[in-house]
A and B are shown apart, each in its own frame.
Chain A
Amino acid sequence: MFGLPSLSDLNVGAALPVLLLAFGACLLLVIDLFIPRERKSRTAWLAAIGIGISLVLSLLSLGGAIEFGDGPDAFTGMFRADRLTDAISVAALITALLGVMVAYDYLERTGIQRGEYYVLLLFSTSGAILMGAANNLVIVFIALELLSIPLYILSGFRRPQEASEESAMKYFLLGAFSSGFLIYGIALVYGATGTLDLAGIWEAAGRITAEDSTARFVGMIGAGLMLVGLGFKVAAVPFHMWTPDVYQGAPTPVVAYMSVVAKVGGFGALVRVFGAGLAGFVDGDAPAFWQDTIWLIAVLTMLLGNFVAIVQSDLKRLLAYSTIAHAGYILIAVAAAGASGLADEAAQAVVIYLLAYAFTNAGAFAVIASIEKNDATNTHIDALRGLGTRRPWLAAAMALFMLSLTGIPLTAGFIGKWYVFKVALQADLVAAAIVGVLTSAVSAYYYLRVVWKMYFEEGEGEASTPPALAWGIGIAAVGTLVLGSLPFILSSMARDITLAFGG
């Protein structure tokens, strides 16, 4: 009974991309010891290569060119290697790659170049991928911690600078608190259903609903607490308080990375746990019980994020509120997953939005990293003045990112919004969709303010773009433009995504 399952029973191969990444991170930790302090570029390169290999494998798997392992279920059903996992991996790995490129020169010039940075980044990326792949609530929790703990450390990577330390402390305390909510929620769901396995929960939930027992009530409370825990990770209102302070204090390359990767992991888990597992709590064709809650949170998140962003004058804070707003848009799609028969399309919309967002948002923070001074100042919006004439290509890239965040056609951001609003209408979430488009119009104001500072006002805006950073910004800009003008790339990447046991 307690015999160890063999490797082939575990179907280890199915998890190959993420295993390689995590293993590579352990290896890099050791190798880094032998790399002299002034040669840390090698660590960065090795990290980038590791991410690259994993990215290629994930892309091949997503495209159906290679099938790793034997079927999608691995580790006795705890890990699920399906198209959703692949797509979440791609989004997380692209972010990680951009994160390394943005970080390298910045760490060098601010004197915090340490190998651990890249190792932590790899660990946290593995965590994000595992969150999307988790088919068991315990794995969700472990993956969440694997994603978060490195992020806490990275936020404080600029110690002894106070802002950075404060940022890490704040993030850690609130993060630990939210983990508590999540684990308590998991416990209640376990109490209600008697299992931690998502497929098991889905089945048990159907049974419970039919019997209409008090277990249903306990399960709902559990789901609510899990929503709090995951909502914290993706910065949804009212669990968003930490975001502006943490983003402002943390080193900019860290923000470029974590503002995306935390959402990738968080939404990967949200859509799988709620769209697949907890979707079992339904009566016939009625929408899932959590749908109303989630779309209300989405509406609040969009309203607060967009309206508060208007009055921000620090670029990092402005974009922090903008990331809150974007969590709101993705939440609309998550809510749509609660409608009968729409879970797959909603998951596709979430993934498309995340991929578009990865390029755009990481790119925008990369530009901020380029204008920031070594003492972490100069992130005021006025620092962009005159950038349009003095650094035309950099300014054009930033303008492109801003237009993409607004959701203007021919940019990736528009394609993301298109799919999110489409699935919202399909799910009859008309009110949420209307709030979504109207707040998009509001967001145009503060995004365009960035553009007008660069182009319409004269100034001494300067930026330093060493090769790695320039390539990072370039890749992000080209990605934003290409995914926006050739939308079939995104749509075909997401087409085969299904959430296993809906229906």
Chain B
Amino acid sequence: MEDISLVTVVLMLPLVGAIPLLFVRSLTEQTIKWLTLTVSLVTFGLSLLLLNNFDTNVAGLQMAQKWDWISGDSFSISYYVGVDGISIWLVLLTTFIMPIAILASFEPIKQRVRLYYLFLLLMEWAMIGVFVAQDLFLFYVFWEVTLIPMYFLIGIWGSEDRIYAAIKFFLYTMAGSLLMLLAILWLGVQAGTFALPEIFAQLNSGELVIDTTTARWLFLAFAVAFAVKVPMWPLHSWLPDAHVQAPTAGSVILAGVMLKMGTYGFVRFNLPLFPEASETFAPYIALLAVIGIIYGAWVSYGQDNIKKLIAYSSISHLGFVMLGIFALNTAGIQGGILQMVNHGISTGGLFLMVGMLYERRHTRMMNAFGGIWKAMPLFSGISLIVILSSMGLPGLNGFVGEFTILLGSAGSEVLSLWFTAFAALGIILAAIYMLYLFNTVFMGELDKEENKRLPDLNWQELWSLIPIVIMVFAIGLQAGYFFDYMDSSVRDLAQYLGDTITAAAGR
């Protein structure tokens, strides 16, 4: 057998770590917690090695590995994994968020502990799988499997309306992805293989020709699956329910990683597989994205539940990512990818904070708080940083992403300048609702009796927030380092899209 790629190791480690949880009956709750944390930390450590071994000058797949899974007469399916500039940061984001989510679960989760951590590890496995899979079959497997742990996380450990939220989440996302399954089958049957790089090669060499109408339908089949996940307006209605009902770690994972599976899908599949259709639909998708930006921000402002506010702000932020991607140029896509990471870090942090407030007061309503800064200065200071990062303050991570996206969309050949103008309005709105949140919860008089004795952060909470603060500054101040990794791959993609656009214009 050939050497096992580091990608496979990173992918399979959480699954291997889940085995003792499943079969060793004698583990105590403490052991289970620490074992899970250790597994996720080791996974994170190994994923840093991925970064180390990554060659930034190569546009294509790196550390790839391919084993045949089914090789029939008419088609073949393989275990095919690898990373490139588009997926590397998302793998890192996943392995980075997971230990934080696990650490943040130590205190709040007291029931069915074993099952809980089992699902978290399965979740990590499936999410990494989504980002490294290079075979359409394998991708679909991981894509659907992520639903199961999240369904249970919301359904078992969620709040009062958890069953409704869990089933809504599952049905929405599954209904969206099933049409993608047909599109995948169609592509695989036509190409005779489900391996993505081989399909690209066939498209480039003209061996596989998809006529324009079919390509548009396939584009839409993929797009619906991804748009539900992002979620794009008007397919977003599962998101506030899922977020509000999910336990803290569930929200952190959902916002931090799972939503990016949708935006990643657009970059990985829709753009390179159907460049002509991407160009045709770009203005419509950008329109939905901008509506999402404004709508998300607008509705956020009207919330009195902190968690709901942050959930709607996700819709707004992900709108930026979609706008960047469908600018179809280097700056837009790079900004989009970086903003995926930024949103994972900032919003993950925000959900952690809501969870900490909830642990103390058992409410998430804004009017229950006020003047918290005086009772919890450390917590409030960190919160301020995360809130400012989410708003897009220069020097912090959010600014770099949003700025690059706007740069991309302004310079885009397929989008009019109006999209950029309205999106920029979204940044102002973000400042309004975020500062409103900060003002209501943290500033003012400490006038409520219950809030006066709130304890500040304990060490577990502190340790789950510190990495986030570090990354907020790291990306904000050293964005070039992060762009370097994606540069080759994204340039390659943008070049390919640009050629198609030029060819279409010349017709």
Contact = CB atoms under 8 A, between A and B. Distances in A.
A82 interface: no
Nearest to A486: B69
A441 B178 contact: yes
Given A452-B166, A456-B162, A488-B69, A441 B174 contact: yes
A445 interface: yes
A478 B301 CA distance: 51
Interface of B: 69-70, 72-75, 77, 112, 115, 137, 140-142, 144-145, 147-148, 151-152, 155-156, 162-163, 166-167, 170-171, 174-175, 178-179, 181-182, 185-186, 188-189
25 contacts: A388-B156, A389-B112, A392-B115, A408-B145, A408-B147, A409-B141, A410-B145, A418-B181, A425-B185, A430-B182, A437-B178, A437-B179, A437-B182, A440-B174, A440-B178, A441-B171, A441-B175, A445-B167, A449-B167, A452-B155, A452-B163, A455-B156, A456-B155, A456-B156, A491-B72
A73 interface: no
B217 to A, nearest CB: 10
Given A409-B141, A488-B70, A495-B72, A448 B167 contact: yes
Nearest to A441: B175
Interface in A420-451: 421-422, 425-426, 430, 433-434, 437-438, 440-441, 444-445, 448-449, 451
B189 A434 contact: no
Contacts of A434: 179, 182
B141 A410 contact: yes
A6 to B, nearest CB: 39
A448 B141 contact: no
Contacts of B144: 408-409, 414
Nearest to A455: B156
Interface residues of A, number: 34
A345 interface: yes
A408 B145 CA distance: 7
Contacts of B112: 389
B186 A455 contact: no
A403 interface: yes
If over half of A's interface residues share one DSSP class (helix, strand or loop), that class is named, otherwise mixed; here it is helix
Nearest to A406: B174
Given A421-B181, A445-B167, A495-B72, A408 B148 contact: yes
Contacts of A451: 151
Interface string A322-347: 00000000000000000000000100
A421 B221 CA distance: 15
A418 B185 contact: yes
B221 to A, nearest CB: 10
A77 interface: no
Contacts of B188: 422
B69 A455 contact: no
Contacts of B141: 409-410, 414
Given A434-B182, A456-B166, A409 B145 contact: yes
A69 interface: no
A487 interface: yes
A433 B182 contact: yes
Given A409-B145, A452-B166, A487-B70, A437 B181 contact: yes
A445 B155 CA distance: 14
Contacts of B151: 448, 451
B139 to A, nearest CB: 10
Contacts of A425: 182, 185-186, 189
Contacts of B181: 418, 421, 437
Contacts of B147: 408
Give the most central of A388, A409, A452: most B CB within 10 Å: A409
A422 B185 contact: yes
A19 to B, nearest CB: 33
A426 B112 CA distance: 46
A409 B140 contact: yes
